[in-house]
């Protein structure tokens, strides 16, 4: 199964200056628990922004236009072309959960291929946002399947939602 996992602002913003918009420990815990022992896919800039590379306890895959071999990043398999990455991910998704973890260009490339998207929706926005996730509330091919919880963290109200493809 191909899944997206993302934390979005009320305007579907996801980042600025190659970083996250919000510091939400509850979202980080949800991400760790959900992706642990699974496959995670990143764009190169997002991968570089991680505090630990590769993410421990996960099979890391990176789309990087300068990749020249399967082992050019320590601890991650890399692909230079999206179509090759997509074939690999579709093959893996027959047996494993594959999580697309960003950034915005990778999220958009996979939009037609998600089986579901796990969204942490924060009731806030940032006027300096530079990266956005497609607004699934306006995408006719997606619907909210389930509310997975929510709360307040660092003074921000949030909810975990599961969107599914129609």
DSSP states of 11-60 as a string?
Answer: T-EEEETTEES---HHHHHHHHHHHTTSEEEEEHHHHHH-SSSSPTTSEE
* Band (70; pLDDT cuts 50, 70, 90): low
Predicted confidence (pLDDT) per residue in 15-65, tens digit = 998 889 999 999 999 999 999 999 999 999 999 999 899 999 999 999 998
Number of domains in the chain: 1
CATH of the domain at 70: 3.40.430.10
| pLDDT for position 75 | 86
Strand pairing category for 116-122 and 156-165: antiparallel
> What is the extent of the structural domain holding 62?
2-165
Predicted confidence (pLDDT) per residue in 71-126, tens digit = 567 789 999 999 999 999 999 999 999 999 999 999 999 999 999 999 999 999 99
């Amino acid at each position: 199964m191909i899944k997206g996992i993302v934390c979005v602002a009320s305007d579907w913003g996801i980042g600025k200056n190659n970083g996250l918009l919000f510091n939400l420990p509850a979202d980080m815990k949800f991400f760790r628990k959900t992706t642990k022992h699974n496959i995670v896919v990143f764009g190169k800039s997002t991968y570089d922004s991680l505090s630990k590379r590769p993410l421990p306890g996960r099979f890391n895959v990176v789309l990087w236009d300068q990749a020249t071999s399967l082992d050019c990043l320590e601890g991650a398999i890399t692909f230079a072309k999206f179509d090759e990455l997509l074939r690999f991910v579709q093959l893996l998704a027959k047996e494993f959960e594959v999580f697309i973890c960003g950034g915005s260009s990778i999220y958009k490339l996979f939009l037609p291929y998600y089986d579901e998207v796990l969204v942490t929706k924060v009731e806030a926005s940032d006027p300096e946002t530079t990266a956005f996730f497609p607004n699934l509330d306006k995408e006719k091919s997606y619907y909210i399947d389930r509310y997975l919880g929510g709360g307040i963290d660092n003074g921000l109200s949030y909810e975990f939602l599961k969107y599914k493809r129609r």
